[in-house]
Chain A
Amino acid sequence: MIKRIGVLVVLLAVAVAAVSPLPVQAARKLRVVATIPDLKSLAEAVGGDLIEVEGLTRGIQNFHEAEVKPSMMLKLRRADALIENGLELDAWADVAVLGANNPNIVRGAAGRIEISRGIQLLEVPSTRVDRSMGDVHPLGNPHFSLDPGLAPAITQNIVDGLGRLAPENRAAFQRNRDAFLVQLDKEMERWTKLMEPVKGRKVVVFHPVYIYFLTRFGLVQAGALEDRPGIPPSPQHLVNLMRQMKDDGVKVILVEPWNDVKLANRVAEEVGGKALVMASAVGAVKGADNYIAAIDYNVTTLVNALR
C-alpha cells in the first residue's frame, strides 16, 4: 500500500512538473532559433550579445520547401525561443518542433514568436482560393521580411517576444532595436534617393518574392514567370509574357538563386533584357551577409540594371 502511495506521489510530482513552465536562467544567454536567415539577422540586431541565435535554413534555400532534418530538431531542443515568419512560409517548423520535445517553443508557448503579427499584408486573396491557383497563400504574401520599411514592425515583435522570456533585458533589447533602426533609417534615406530615378519602372519576377520590396520603393511588378506560384511555367505562358514584356518595354527579371536561373536568362535574352539574381534572403548571394547588406545588394543591383 505504502509503495503504491509512493508511486502515486512520484507520478503527481511529475505531473505538476509537467504543467509548470521551466523558468529561463537569467544568468545565461537566451538561445534563439530563427526559421529563416532574415529573421536570424534581425534577431541578432535586437538581441546583441544577450542572445545566441541559430538559423534553421540558409539563404540559398527555397523556404517553402525546406526539408525538416533532425539536426533542426536538435537546435530546437535547446532553444528558449523560436522566431518564425508565419503565413505558411515556414509551416514545416511545426514538424521540426514536434520532433524536438521542447515545451518552450510549442504553439502557444511564450517562446514561440511569430513576427507576422501586426504586418499589413499584400496580395491577400479577396476571392475564394484553391490549389488550381498553385501554391497560394490564403493569408497573404509571406515574403514581407525583404521590405526594410517593415523592419520596425518585425523587430518590435522580436523585442516583445524576447522581452516575454527575459523581462530584465527588455530595455536592452529595445535599445538595440532603436540603434539598429537609426542605422537602417540612414540607409533607407540613401536607398530611397538611389531608387528615386527608377520609380514607376516595371519589372518581372520569377516567383512573387519581391512585392513588398518593390511596392516600398514605388516599382511595379508587371508579371511573373511562374504561371501560378510554385508551378513551373507553361511554354504558352512564357510566350504571352515575353510578348507583354516587349510591348511594355520591360527589360528586367528578378530571380532567386534557388530558382531556374537558366530559364530566367533565356527569357531575358529573348526580350533583350537581363535576369538579376537577387538576394531573396540574407545569405542568398555573396555579400548579402546581414539584413542591411541584403537590402543594399537588392537596391544596388536593381538600380544599376534599370539605369
Chain B
Amino acid sequence: MRSLGIVVGALLVAVTAAPAAAQDAAAMRREIEQLRQQLQGLTERLQRLETQPVPQMATPPPAQPGPLAQSPANPQTQMSPPSATELLRPRQPFGLYQQRGSGQLLFDMGIAGDFVGSFTQHNVQKANGGTFTGRENRFFPREVELSLFGQIDPFARGEMRIETGEEAPGGEMNVTLAEATITLLTLPYGTQAKLGQMRNRFGWSNAIHEHDLPWIDRPDVYRVFLGEEGLKEKGVEGTWVPDFLPFYAQVLGGVFNGDNETAFGRGLLTHPLATGRVVTFFDLTDTQAVQVGASVANGETAERLRSTLLGFDLKYKFRPEGWLHPLLTLGSEGIYSIRRTERGVDLDGDGSPDLFQKQTRNSFGWYGWGELQPWRRWAFGVRYDSTQYPDAPGYQWAVEPYVTFYPSEFLRFRLGYKHTDRSHPFDVAGNGGSARLVDELLFQATFILGAHPAHAF
C-alpha cells in the first residue's frame, strides 16, 4: 500500500511538474521569438521611414489626438532589446491592474432601490391576501440592494449583493446577504463554474432581481411554487456552452443545499437539491429573436419527501432596425410540480388524523406576458397568471395590465392594476378575512445609483 502511495505521489509530481516546466520553456521561447520579430519589424519600418518622406498623419495638429507612435503608452513603438529583468517581469494577465490609476477601486459598485405600494380592499388586507402579503395598503422599500462586483483575479469573477427591505409593517429591516458568488472563468472545454449563494438559473425570470423584473411583482407561479423570493440557494452551478452547434445553447447543472422551504427544505448536501437547465436562442431575423429554455429541480422537502419541478420558458423580442428598445416583447414560463405529500386520514371521526398516507400531488402553473414599447420612455404591458396550488386543492388566476415610464435609464416608475380570482377563500392571517377576489392598484419606483451590469436578452 505504501509503495502504491509513492507511485501515486511520483505520478502527481510528474503530471504537474513536467508539463509545467515544458510549458514555461515553450512560453519563454515563444516570447523571445515574438520580441525578436517585433524588433526586426520595427527596424525594417524605421529604415523605410528614414528613406521616405514623412507621412502627413505622422504630425497631427497640435493638442489633438495623435498617432500611437508618439505615445509612451505603447511599448512596441519604443522598442529596445529587452533586458533580462524585463523578460522576467510578470506579463498579462498578471500585469492587468498596472493600467489602473491610483485611488481607483478594482471593482464596480452600485445601489438599486426598489419601492412598491398597493391599494386594495379591506377584507384582502385583513386576510393578508394581497400580492405583497402582510403589507397591503402600504408603500414600502421592497428591496434596497448594494452590489459589488468585478474581477477577483485573472481567473475568477466575484459578485456580492447585500439587501434590506420591509418584510412586515413597521418592523425592523434586516440587512441580509442576497447573493455572494465566485465564477471561475478559465475552465476548459467551454465550461464555467459558479459557487456561493445565488438566484438559481431555473427558468428565465427566477435569476432576475426584483428591481430588474419587467413587472411590479414576480409571477404568481413562482410565488406559489417557490415562495415570494423565488428560488435562491447555496451551492454550485456548472455550465457548458458547446462551440460546434450552429446556434447558441447552454447546458447547466447544479447542486444545492435545498433550503427553499416552499418547494424543498431538506437543507442538506447529503440529500441535495439538484438543478438542470438547457437554454437555446435563435436570431429569426436581424430584428427578431427567440429564446427557449427547459429547467428541472429535484430535491426533498423538510418532511423528507421527494419534490420535483419541471419548467419551460419562452421569450420573443421584436426590435425594429435602429431602435434603442424593443417594440414588442412576448414571454411565457410554466412550472409543473410533482410533489410527494402526506395526507392525514381521520378513521374514527374525532376530527384528528389517525393515519398519514403518502400521495403524489401534481400541479401546474404558468403565465403569459406581452409588452409594447412604442416610445423610448413608455412601455405598456399585460400579464396573465394561472396557477394551481402545489400542496392543496384549488387554483388562482390573475390579470395585470401595467404602464412603465422611464425618465432615464436609471430611473423607472410603474403603475399597474391586478385582479386575482381564487377558487377558494384565502386567509393567511387566519382571522376570518377573505381574499378570494382581489383587486389591487400597484405602483413601483426604482432607481439605480452607480454601476449596474447589463442584462442579456
Contact = CB atoms under 8 A, between A and B. Distances in A.
Contacts of A178: 45, 48
Interface stretch (B136-144, B162-170, B319-327): B319-327
B155 interface: yes
A181 interface: yes
Contact of B77 (A92, A107, A156): A156
Contact of B74 (A121, A160, A188): A160
A129 B240 CA distance: 41
Contact of B65 (A18, A108, A144, A171): A144
Contact of A101 (B12, B38, B239, B321): B239
Contact of B68 (A60, A98, A152): A152
Contacts of A122: 65
A212 B65 contact: yes
Contacts of B61: 215-216, 218
A184 interface: yes
Interface in B334-377: 376-377
A90 B323 CA distance: 17
B55 interface: yes
A232 B154 contact: no
Nearest to A91: B454
Interface in B427-453: 449, 453
Nearest to A184: B57
Given A16-B19, A70-B281, A73-B241, A118 B74 contact: yes
Interface in A172-219: 174, 178, 181-182, 184-185, 188-189, 192, 212, 215-216, 218
B409 A77 contact: no
Interface in B24-78: 30, 33-34, 37-38, 40-41, 45, 48, 55-57, 60-61, 64-69, 71, 73-74, 76-77
Max chain A CB contacts within 10 Å: which of B40, B67, B191, B453?
A: B67
A257 interface: yes
Interface stretch (B125-133, B179-187, B210-218, B221-229): B179-187
Given A18-B186, A149-B65, A174-B45, A99 B8 contact: no
Given A61-B322, A68-B455, A119 B68 contact: yes
Contacts of A148: 57
A51 interface: no
Contacts of A246: none
Interface string B227-254: 0000000000001110101011010000
B15 interface: yes
Chain B interface: which size bin? 35 or more
A188 B56 contact: yes
B269 interface: no
B65 A103 contact: no
Chain A interface: which size bin? 35 or more
A225 interface: no
Contact of A147 (B65, B96, B453): B65
Contact of B321 (A12, A60, A156): A60
B121 interface: no
Contact of A152 (B57, B183, B239, B286): B57
A243 interface: no
A237 interface: no
Nearest to A144: B65
B65 A118 contact: no
Contact of B38 (A2, A20, A163, A216): A163
B175 to A, nearest CB: 25
Contacts of B1: 1
B283 A170 contact: no
Max chain A CB contacts within 10 Å: which of B16, B239, B245, B322?
A: B322
B422 interface: no
9 A-B pairs with least C-beta separation: A153-B68, A108-B93, A70-B281, A167-B34, A108-B154, A118-B73, A103-B186, A152-B67, A70-B248
17 contacts: A9-B12, A14-B188, A18-B186, A18-B188, A71-B283, A107-B96, A107-B151, A108-B154, A152-B57, A153-B65, A153-B67, A153-B68, A157-B74, A171-B40, A192-B56, A232-B376, A257-B322
Given A108-B154, A149-B65, 6 more contacts: A101-B240, A108-B92, A149-B60, A153-B71, A170-B37, A216-B61
Interface of B: 1, 4, 8, 11-12, 15-16, 19-20, 23, 30, 33-34, 37-38, 40-41, 45, 48, 55-57, 60-61, 64-69, 71, 73-74, 76-77, 92-93, 96, 99, 151, 154-155, 157, 183-188, 190-192, 239-241, 243, 245, 247-248, 250, 279-281, 283, 286, 289, 291, 319, 321-326, 376-377, 408-410, 449, 453-457
